[in-house]
Structure 1
Amino acid sequence: MYANPDAVRSAVTFSGPIEGGSNGFPGTSTSLDLAAKGYTEREFFVSGSAASYSEDGTWSSDGHWAAAEDTSAPFTTRILVRTPADPSRFNGTVVVEWLNVSGNTDIDVDFGHMNEEITRGYAWVGVSAQAAGITSTGGSGLGDGVVGLLTWDPERYGALDHPGDRYSYDIFSQVGAALRTPGDVDPLGGLLPTQLLATGQSQSGFRMLTYANAVHPRARVFDGLIIHARGGIGAPLADGMMLLDPAPARVRTDLDVPVFQLITETELFELCGGPGPTSFVAARQPDTDMIRTWEIAGTSHSDAYSLKILHPQYVRQFSDIRDLAALFPIVNDGPQRYVANAALRALRQWAAGGEAPTSAPVIDTADNAVLRDRHGNATGGVRTPQLDVPVATLTGELVHVPQNGATVAFDATTLAALYPSHDAYVTAFSDATARAVDDGFLLPEDAAILIADAQGCDVGR
């Protein structure tokens, strides 16, 4: 547990579990079968007073950002909580996710990517830290019917009151701090956390960089941070998705807790408008005792796996939603989730004082482009069996749909030339999987799943 006498002392109060409403279930309720995984999902409201922050001095690319406390305002937001139904399964670690609001609604993106590892014993808490997830009345590319909680179910969420994104960082800190000392209503149901890990993906990844650089040094709530799928910049302390100055922006090197950056091919150049100071390549930095960055070859900002979880979740919640299912066969179906699982477990051990994770090479780039092998797959970066023993081109670059990359299956002639028999394919795939486990990029449990899939497929038959 990260115990610090200067850490935020939260004065928030929890209420719940929240039930009822016109829809009868929580917004952002997962489409995954939690009961089959031995997990439960509950919702709580959180009320208190949050501070806003403003930039204190000049912010530079090195991430040594100072923030000054500004105004304060009352708030009531909500959290989603997923915990083991059997308390004895709890491993002591709570993953606290900054819910993504890029679509003007709360999205639990990182729970989707990491759910296999999370449901092996962690607790997960999703925080409605930003206003859009509560107050939005629509307008995103997901569909006209995709709205915030107040519009979606005013009967259930009428008590929510968000004062604006300038208060989001302190709301997130206070929720984290209160999970350790919850008071009369305990969202964790009596589970005693020994470790809090914060995470955020994409829009929330930008926020997590700013949180690490400007807020954690004064809040000191979390034992480790995951910054997932950000570009080369951070987020503002108030409204807006991206902070364009300074660009690029790196993780500060004097943090006292470990920070793990997970980056896909998409963020290298394309996420923030193309090559230049806002691209992640411009923000690359060496690993340190407290920083690890894994650039995952063959992955994209969003992918088929996450869409297959999110689409039924959207369909259940909203009547007017874009047909994301049509994208499943063509967008990237790379191994991001398995590497994310390994990163989460590695961070848990690292933050508890264990060995630091493996340092990974960067994805090879030149002339503002990803370098690729004869099959069109990226070279360098975190290697997985899907890249080293390929049956398709897996790219994170814009091909069909922005930010979703592509999967282009090899034709029969190419597959026959690469793998003259099924045994040859399975042997090569198993060897590559073992290398990835030895390197720390895959977990043994996930490796067994991948090898079983390879054994059951038709490649080489």
Structure 2
Amino acid sequence: MSTRVAAPRSRTTRTRVRVLICCLATLFVACAVGTPAWAASPAPRVTGPLTGGVHDRPWGAAAFNPEDFGYTEQEYLVSGTAHAYGTARPDVPYVTRMVVYRPADPERFSGNVTVEWTNVTAQVDHAFEFLWLNRQTFANGDAYVVVSAQQAGACGILLNGQPMIDVGGISVPPCTPVSLKAWDPIRYGALWVPDDAYAFDVFSQVGSTLRNTTGVAPLGGLVPRTLIAIGLSQSAIALDNYIRTGADDAARVYDGIIIDGDGQMTLPSRYRVPTMHIWSEESGQMGVPTAAPNHRIWSVAGAAHVDWYGVRQSAELLLHNIAALPPMTAANYRESIAASSVYGQQGPNLSVPCLGSSQFQRRYAVNAAVAAMQRWVRTGEPAPVAPPFVYNGIKRAVDALPVELSLPLLAGGGLDLVKLGGLPWGLQRDAVGNALGGIRLPQMAVPVARYDGAICGLLGVTIPFAPEDLAQRYPTHRVYVDAMLAATRESVRERFMTRADGIEQMQMACSSAIPDWGVTPPAAQPAVCRNLDSAV
């Protein structure tokens, strides 16, 4: 391993009154008091694949059968000694887990590996990005690895699972009920994950094992050409800090990093490898260059923190795991995808009163970002430059306030609630309420609804236009389809949308009934809809 370095000391440019709302009841940040002396740790050890346990499957297992898509799903333990970057704390042992999805046929392997830092905001170990990315992963022959880097997912905040306690003659870990160790104390009884100061090194070490050529090889002998780290929301903040603390400089494991929805986090000052920030409307910052050496910022107009697709897929995954439902068949999964793939064309929905999430398909930007990052790392061609959001005077006034109301999240940092609260009024919007600037995917370029991603907390809303308003914009279904096709081609050409997602978007547009709500049967759809593979 390379020499580890301490994080640079932070520099404050103005006095702030910080009011900490610790709804998660944890503080992790330790003060950097110098670079501690340490000895290089032995290489981490991998054991597995795991079998058995109370449930005889991994927590967070896919709600469908990956074998139906030519993939294996296997789980491994990784153990070693972790370092706490930016602190004088001693190195400590750890045992964590990873779940690996790889092509069953080695000939299909693309060489690309995406490694997700699981989100633990809800104290549940959750691979949210995989819900968006699994179909693209399978279609491309990529591998996907889910890493449990944090104590909260393994056992619970301030808990690492030992010593065991006796309950009715059975030894169980003193962990929260939704944690890995409590869900399956047999399968995960060995987990020992230290606090979040060590999470960055745990994430590095797990990633390093994916290049194993001796001992247990989690990729089954496949040799990765690119390792790309990704994380959403709290995990995005963790990846910001992964860079800021010096963990990435020291480990040099990942070839690219995608930081998705970090939300008012102070950005790193430089980037060792190609790095992309994806900002939905609630995450945007004003006055930050969207392009710099090794860095791109994609601000996605219309996007909320999470979309209806991700929320629905999360619910199905949790139900599958908690209720022990059998995996969906490939046909059932396709039906689930279709039910998740709406964008307001069907009429009003639960997001209007903030009871559901925005139907704007945010996942398209995530898929495109991964494709752009893979190309950047492998060819040296940077991801395309995106325009920033357009802000008004309210945003400038809120940003100038000397008060910062901070909501800490795990792995340090957090959301600035003052700025977050000002965003719904700080974004400049058009006559129907859609944000100006940013990446304008087809759903924003040819809208059938108002998409506001900065209200209802992190959920956003989709408010469909009334049929009479739709008719003024798109007198016939053919007019709408033609406009969507032109916008989709443009997004694909600019590389803000993958071609596969462009085809899916056009399938939804063709099957809609715009300028009315409802569905147009295939026989009544415009001729171009019968050959979208060549049209997009």
Identify the TM-score tier after normalising by the shorter chain: 0.7 to 0.9
1:103 paired with 2:122, answer yes
Structure 1 residues 33, 264: CA separation in 2 closer, same or farther (over 3 Å shift)? farther
User: Is the CA contact 2:290–2:385 (under 8 Å) kept in the aligned structure 1?
Assistant: no
- 2:446 paired with 1:389: yes
TM-score (structure 2 length as normaliser): 0.72
Among 48, 53, 77, the residue aligned to 1:45: 77
Q: Is the 8 A contact 1:113 1:340 kept in 2?
A: yes
Secondary structure of 2:122's counterpart equals: coil
Q: Does 1:185 align with 2:216?
A: yes
Task: Supply the distance in 1 between the matched residues of 2:155 and 2:92 (Cα, whole angstroms).
Answer: 17
Query: In the alignment, which residue of structure 2 is the partner of 1:276?
Result: none
**Residue 359 of structure 2 corresponds to residue 333 of structure 1:** yes
Report how far residue 460 of structure 1 moved: 3.0
The 8 Å contact of residues 307 and 361 in structure 2, kept in 1 or not, is answered as no
Kindly state the Cα deviation for residue 427 of structure 1 after the two structures are TM-superposed.
0.2
Task: Write out per-residue CA displacement over residues 224-257 of structure 1, whole angstroms, 9 at most, x where no aligned residue.
Answer: 1111100222xxxxxxxxxxxxxxx22323x331
Paired position in structure 1 for 2:379:
353
* Displacement after TM superposition at 1:189 (Å): 0.9
1:424 equivalent in structure 2: 479
Are the counterparts in 1 of residues 114 and 143 from structure 2 also a CA contact under 8 Å? Answer: yes
Which amino acid is the alignment partner of residue 251 of structure 1?
P
| Structure 2 unaligned spans of 5+ | 5-39, 159-175, 325-339, 341-348, 396-425, 517-536
Contact 1:232 1:281 in 2 (8 A): no
**Greater shift in the superposed pair: 351-360 or 432-441:** 351-360
1:317 aligned onto 2:321: yes
Q: Secondary structure at the match of 1:94?
A: strand
**Conserved in 1, the CA contact under 8 Å of 2:449 and 2:464?**
yes
Measure the CA separation in 2 of the matches of 1:31 and 1:306.
13
Give the deviation of 1:22 after TM superposition.
Answer: 1.3
Q: Could you say which residue in structure 2 is the equivalent of 1:215?
A: 247
Total equivalences in the alignment: 407
TM-score (norm 1): 0.83
Residues 1:377 and 2:434 aligned together: yes
Distance apart, 1:37 and its partner CA: 2.5
Distance between the aligned counterparts of 2:47 and 2:263, measured in 1?
Answer: 36
Cα distance per residue 1:282-310 (max 9 Å; x no partner): 7x234113000000011111121111111
- Report deviation, 1:124: 0.8
> Using the alignment, how far apart are the partners of 2:2 and 2:85 within structure 1?
21
2:296 aligned with 1:292, yes or no? yes
Q: Give the C-alpha shift of residue 451 in structure 1.
A: 1.1
Give the SS at the match of 1:299: coil
Structure possessing the higher radius of gyration over alpha carbons: 2
- Measure the CA separation in 2 of the matches of 1:126 and 1:297: 28
Give the Cα separation in 2 of the matches to 1:146 and 1:299.
33
Is this contact kept in 2: 1:31–1:310, CA < 8 A?
A: no
For the Cα contact (< 8 Å) 2:150–2:194, is it kept in 1? no
Cross-structure match for 1:260 = 276
1:131 aligned residue: 151
8 Å CA contact 1:424, 1:460 repeated in 2: no
- CA–CA distance in 1 between the matches of 2:301 and 2:89? 42
Quote how far apart the aligned CAs of 1:354 are. 2.6
Among 119, 122, 135, the residue aligned to 1:116 = 135
Q: Write the mapping of 1:127-276 to structure 2, written as runs, cut at 5 A.
A: 127-136=147-156, 147-181=178-212, 183-213=214-244, 214-233=246-265, 249-253=266-270, 255-268=271-284
Asked if the contact 2:50/2:77 (under 8 Å) is kept, the reply is yes
Whether contact under 8 Å (1:6, 1:220) holds in the other structure is: no
2: CA distance, partners of 1:201 / 1:10: 30
Report the equivalent of 1:239: none
Aligned-partner SS, 1:25: coil
- 8 Å CA contact 1:10–1:178 kept in 2: the answer is no
TM-superposed deviation, 1:455: 1.2
CA distance change for structure 1 residues 74 and 83 in 2, over 3 Å: closer, same or farther? same
Q: Do the aligned partners of residues 51 and 358 (structure 1) sit closer, same or farther apart at CA in structure 2, a change above 3 Å counting?
A: same
Alignment partner, residue 58 of structure 2:
26
Following superposition, the deviation at residue 146 of structure 1 comes to 6.0
Q: Provide the rounded CA distance (Å) in 1 between the counterparts of 2:156 and 2:213.
A: 29
**Residue pair 1:137, 1:148 contacting (<8 A) in 2 also:** no
Q: Is the Cα–Cα contact under 8 Å of residues 117 and 147 in structure 2 kept in the other structure?
A: yes
RMSD: 2.5
How far off its partner does 1:317 sit? 2.5
Q: Secondary structure at the match of 1:168?
A: helix
Q: Distance in 1 between matches of 2:391 and 2:68?
A: 43
